[in-house]
Structure 1
Amino acid sequence: MPTSGDEAIRAAAQRAETTAKRNIPQLADLPIPGDTANLREGPELNDACLALLPLVGVWRGEGEVNYPTIDGPYRFAQQLTISHDGRPFLHHEARSWLLDAEGNVIRPAARETGWWRPQADDTIELLLCHSSGILELFYGTPKSQTTWELGTDAVVRSSTAKEVTAAKRLYGIVAGGDLGYVEERAMVGQPMTPHVSALLHRVVG
């Protein structure tokens, strides 16, 4: 449900009481600028990344994974870190873990890392590498100031990875300032089908 501008500002101020002074750990002796997930600290966000500014932070939350070929749905939790070092791209790192019905951790699950690369024509490139042996190149555009939609242009997989032919993702800042996303995938002989959805809360930035 949409919120008013005043409500969004109040929600952001309330979140900032716990998130504004947190950042990702840094090694003090690094001779080049470290990454920051807090726009109040570190290098200035590159102007090329302004369309992605709301994504910068560390996000945690829960979601559901399902597909016709698995015995799901499964509940999972995730931490997503989107950071920058002042150059015209963002670093993306997501770590997930499976949960049981009571919310207890079962085991670590999917991991992915990559780069958001905004271009001068408003196109966004998203390169993702998955621990499962999949490499994906997404292209997309901002749908609004707080929504981004992307689809794969190329998918490469290792000889031991499952067959994946295409994927789509939609990210958006929702009511209360949380980050929601949904993913569809075409894999293991199935057409493009909903696969993952999650709602993440800001914990840094």
Structure 2
Amino acid sequence: MVFTIPEGLHPDLNPLAWLVGTWRGKGRGEYPNIEGFEFAHEVVFNHDGRNFLNYFSRSWILDADGEIVRPGASEVGFWRVQPNNVLEVLISHSTGITEGWVGTFDGPKIQLVMDQGYSAPSAKIVTAGVRLYGLVAGELFYAYDMAAEGQELQAHVWSSLPRSAE
């Protein structure tokens, strides 16, 4: 895959430049008391020249025929590179949860661990999380393990997303 640094990208973000763009594909999910499901997933990373990436993620629940049944989860956030390949990520969910994540990047591999979380009074309580992002065979691979509502940390959702031509 040919890759160039996006024009106007803040130099601090050069190690994450491979993320910039729109990624679309499908994923799967499961969790105790939630039947396994498939979803369409779109992730967008963009920038405005400052030293952070803007992050947008949205999904749609699919039926057995791959047709959209309803909207799924959506998230917005900011990704900030720190010295020594450290990454700080802030993510807010449409479900009333906001999280701070800290992790590391090594080329096209990103590992994040939830540092702190806030849940609105009507939202579920998420007590731990681990996220993995990586470039695998030219696609954005994403996996999210979660501990919520008294459950142990375990796999929740994962997807593989080709880069959109847009």
Do the structures match in fold with TM over 0.5?
yes
- CA shift, 1:199, in A, is 0.5
The aligned residue for residue 46 of structure 2 is 83
Query: Which amino acid in structure 2 is aligned with residue 64 of structure 1?
Result: R
SS in 1 for 2:151: coil
The aligned residue for residue 195 of structure 1 is 156
SS in 2 for 1:73: strand
Whose helix fraction is larger, Structure 1's or Structure 2's? 1
Instruction: Write the deviation string for residues 125-184 of structure 1: whole angstroms up to 9, x where unpaired.
Output: 010000000000000001x21100000110100000011111110000001x11001110
- CA shift, 1:204, in A, is 4.0
- CA shift, 1:69, in A, is 2.3
Q: TM-score, normalised by structure 1?
A: 0.77
The aligned residue for residue 61 of structure 2 is 98
Query: Which amino acid in structure 2 is aligned with residue 167 of structure 1?
Result: G
Instruction: Give the aligned CA root-mean-square deviation in angstroms.
Output: 1.7
The aligned residue for residue 92 of structure 2 is 129
Q: Would you say how many aligned residue pairs link Structure 1 and Structure 2? A: 166
- CA shift, 1:120, in A, is 2.3
SS in 2 for 1:102: coil
The aligned residue for residue 20 of structure 2 is 56
Contact 1:48 1:120 in 2 (8 A): no
Segments ≥4 residues shifted beyond 4 Å? none
Instruction: Write the deviation string for residues 25-53 of structure 1: whole angstroms up to 9, x where unpaired.
Output: xxxxxxxxxxxxx92xxx42111011111
More RCO (CA 8 Å, sep 6+): 1
- CA shift, 1:68, in A, is 1.3
The aligned residue for residue 114 of structure 2 is 152
Which one has a bigger Cα radius of gyration? 1
**Does residue 169 of the first structure (1) align with residue 131 of the second (2)?**
yes
Any gaps of 5 or more consecutive residues in structure 1?
A: 1-11, 21-37
Query: Which amino acid in structure 2 is aligned with residue 73 of structure 1?
Result: G
1:135 and 1:183, CA in 2 relative to 1: closer, same or farther beyond 3 A? same
Whose strand fraction is larger, Structure 1's or Structure 2's? 2
Instruction: Write the deviation string for residues 60-110 of structure 1: whole angstroms up to 9, x where unpaired.
Output: 00000100121x210000111100011110000011000011111100110
The aligned residue for residue 25 of structure 1 is none
Contact 1:147 1:170 in 2 (8 A): yes
CA distance in 1, matches of 2:164, 2:114: 29
CA distance in 2, matches of 1:181, 1:97: 16
**Does residue 185 of the first structure (1) align with residue 146 of the second (2)?**
yes
